[in-house]
Amino acid sequence: MANSLLRKGLKNPHHLPHFIYWKSKHFFIQSYFQLKHGTKTFKFQGHLYHYYCNNYNTTWNNERVVEIPIVWEIIKNNQGKVLEVGNVLSHYHHFPHDIVDKYEKAQGVVNQDIVDFCPPKPYDLIVSVSTLEHVGVDEEPKDPKKVLRAIENLISNCLAPGGTMVITVPLGHNPELDKLLKQGVIDVGKVNFMKRLSKNNFWKESDLKDVQDMTYDFPFPRGNAIAIAIKDKS
């Protein structure tokens, strides 16, 4: 949005005040959230994490404020080969790993449908941050069951024996995936939940009962609860 406003301002100078206002507002909002979250921590599975505030995709105002630090800690403790499904983490951290993203064009990103992806060698760690909820839902033709095939392919053909797969998804965006996770229809390992508590974007670890009826984009923007699935392949 900012780039669009800037281009309009350069072509038509009367648009510049709008661009300056928008950027200033965005800066002060971001600074406020960074100040609020700067020294704050949240607990997940007995560990303390700092909230992650970054300008890209305004993490301070959505579920990535907790997703990124949880997944990044797992990656730091991994010594093997890493695959990321959906190009998310490269916008925040630079580390050697392979990325599969059907749509996003970027250097080093393999543009392939995840249900068809079959690497020559399996990975020790597979991570996916707020991506799999889009599979089969935000594409044509729509196929709500496609996400099941995507996860089965990751486990069967992409994850090495002894490897770990970590998936985070916001609840409410993909009802079919929500049902699979809540009912344990698909084996994605242990599923934990986080719930957003306030407009200020503070979160707490919760159980299934506490997030059962949570919706996407209400009462707060974007994810109001997330599922974090961790699967260890024997």
Is position 210 within any domain?
yes
- φ, ψ dihedrals at 95, nearest 5°: -155, 155
What's the pLDDT tens digit per position in 136-181?
999 999 998 999 999 999 999 999 999 999 999 999 999 989 988 8
Could you give the CA distance from residue 61 to residue 200 in angstroms, rounded to a whole number? 8
Could you give the CA distance from residue 194 to residue 3 in angstroms, rounded to a whole number? 33
The CATH number of the domain where 138 resides is what?
Answer: 3.40.50
Is position 46 within any domain?
no
What's the pLDDT tens digit per position in 90-138?
999 999 999 999 999 999 999 999 999 999 999 999 999 999 999 999 9
Is position 34 within any domain?
no
Assess whether pLDDT exceeds 50 at residue 5: no
Is position 39 within any domain?
no
129 is in which domain, residue-wise? 60-232
Q: To the nearest whole percent, how much of the chain has pLDDT over 70? A: 83
In the sheet that holds 225-232, the strands lie side by side as: 109-110, 98-100, 82-85, 123-129, 159-170, 225-232, 190-196, 203-206
CA 172 to the chain's CA centroid: 14
Is position 131 within any domain?
yes
Closest by CA position to 61, among listed 73, 69, 70, 51: 51
| Least confident span in 16-20, 47-51, 98-102, 128-132 | 16-20
Is position 13 within any domain?
no
**The total number of structural domains that make up the chain:** 1
Q: What is the pLDDT of residue 77?
A: 95
Is position 176 within any domain?
yes
Is position 189 within any domain?
yes
Cα angle, residue 174 at apex, residues 233 and 212 outer, rounded to 5°: 85
